[in-house]
Amino acid sequence: MKIAIIGSGGREHALVATISKSSRVNEIFCIPGNAGTSRIATNVEMDINEFDKVYKFINDNSIDLVVIGPEQPLVNGIVDYLEKFNIKVFGPNKIASQLEGSKIFTKKLCQDCGIPTAKFGIFENRIDAKKFLENTKYPNVIKADNLAAGKGVYICNNEQESFMAVEEIFDGKFGEAKNVLIEEFLKGEEMSYFIISDGTSIKSFETAQDHKRVLEGDNGKNTGGMGAYSPSRLINSNLENKILSKIIKPTLKGLSNLGTEYKGFLYAGLMIVENEPYLIEYNVRMGDPECQTILPKLKTDLVEILEACCNKKLAEVNIEWNSKKSLCVVLCSKGYPDTYKKNVLINNLENFTVNKNSFIFHAGTKKENNKIYATGGRVLNFISLSDNFLKARNEVHHCIKRLDWNGGFHRRDIGFKVID
């Protein structure tokens, strides 16, 4: 088979690396990819939001299966576009992708299907939003409706902070805003829960815990994710049954009531309050860095799973996992998530080797004249599998120490809730 993966981050390098282990695969393309994917796939420089160009490449090269990594092309309808030409694509369609593309779509679906989530109000203008805020409890949570790459969410402790959030959102800080969402603050512990679906059946695709804040101790600004571990310390079979019966299954039923179905990875961002799950958000893709953390544990051939999803045969596949603990630390350019230098040489990465239970997935890197440069905010992911999280983290830190790059930084406390 020939497979194309769309995207250029750590998630996509992990997908490419896992797919490359399959005996079913002859050739892999990554559009556009990074320095890491270029070692095992052919990178194709292209704007992934120009669907006609993506289609032409896929058609010209007789690609058998396309896997979409990031949310933006999914929300813009790349799956519907390619399927019109009878191309096999792994990912949800445009309507189903509204689960991530519009927080209000998801909140309304929760309301219609009785899915547990924070109480909320939707406001079309500043005056109504502020009137509501005068009689509300704090802290509360104020969100822009758009795709805002993890930004666009304010936790507000008082009226002044919440008024500022409303102003910034309606001023267009996260793109044109037709609405704001004001939510009750849920106090609990977060967990990422993943499933994979072929539109008819679903299978669990593991759990993880991301670390979104830039500084140790979960302080500082929000980022795309500074590190993760899998499994989440919260998961147990009783909780999993509740997540499936109260959240995932009603969501898929809600989509079916809208005349559509869900094919792809679905990522539920949950708040667990006293062993009860509440939906905070959906993402219509694997998480990043959760994907890098989870995929090294997968024992079943990923291509078999993805193909089965496209052929509505997921029920026939038995997905097996390594029982080891996995921990991922993200190395970022100094300055991230604000401004940082680009095109900084990473000295010894080209010939860097790790042991068989450790993995390096690239994110913002590029290769030029056999040298690898940091080009993004999140640059590299170091992952280790071990019997326990402490050993996994020690091994990751040991690898990172050997890297000769003084333009980067990382959190040293990833997994602190399960380790320290």
Which does residue 416 bind out of ligand AMP, ligand GLY, none, counting CB within 5 to 8 angstroms by kind?
Answer: none
- Whose structure tokens read 């160009």? 53
CA distance 65 to 327: 30
Largest distance between two CA atoms of the chain: 62
Which does residue 63 bind out of ligand AMP, ligand GLY, none, counting CB within 5 to 8 angstroms by kind?
Answer: none
Which does residue 100 bind out of ligand AMP, ligand GLY, none, counting CB within 5 to 8 angstroms by kind?
Answer: none
Q: Which of 51, 105, 185, 416 binds ligand AMP (CB under 6 A)?
A: 185
Classify residue 403 by burial, with Cβ atoms within 10 Å: 0-12, 13-18, 19+. Answer: middle
| Site membership for ligand AMP, residue 290 (CB under 6 A) | no
Which does residue 287 bind out of ligand AMP, ligand GLY, none, counting CB within 5 to 8 angstroms by kind?
Answer: ligand GLY
* Shortest Å, Cβ 287 to ligand GLY: 4
* Shortest Å, Cβ 67 to ligand GLY: 16
| Site membership for ligand AMP, residue 190 (CB under 6 A) | yes
Q: Point out which residues pair with 283 in neighbouring strands.
A: 267
DSSP structural state of residue 258? T
Binding residues (CB under 6 A) for ligand GLY: these are 150, 210, 225, 283, 287-288, 290
CA distance 41 to 178: 41
343: alpha, beta or left? (left if phi > 0; alpha if psi -120 to 50): left
* Shortest Å, Cβ 290 to ligand GLY: 6
| Site membership for ligand AMP, residue 247 (CB under 6 A) | no
Instruction: Report the candidate in 255, 241, 303, 271 with the shortest Cα–Cα distance to residue 66.
Output: 303
> Cα-atom radius of gyration of the chain, to the nearest Å?
21
| Token duo for residue 102 | 């519009």
Find the part of the chain contacting ligand AMP (CB under 6 A) among 20-28, 108-116, 178-186, 300-308: 178-186
Residue 16 identity (one-letter amino acid): V
CA distance 343 to 218: 28
Q: Which of 269, 342, 354, 417 binds ligand AMP (CB under 6 A)?
A: 269
Site for ligand AMP in 79-118 (CB under 6 A): 118
| Site membership for ligand AMP, residue 153 (CB under 6 A) | yes
| Site membership for ligand AMP, residue 141 (CB under 6 A) | yes
* Shortest Å, Cβ 66 to ligand AMP: 27
| Site membership for ligand AMP, residue 133 (CB under 6 A) | no
CA distance 228 to 209: 5
Nearer to ligand GLY, 123 or 336 (CB): 336
CA distance 216 to 218: 5
| The length of the chain, given as a count of residues | 420
Nearer to ligand GLY, 209 or 365 (CB): 209
Site residues for ligand AMP per CB under 6 A: 118, 141, 143, 150, 153, 183, 185-186, 190, 212, 269, 271, 280-281
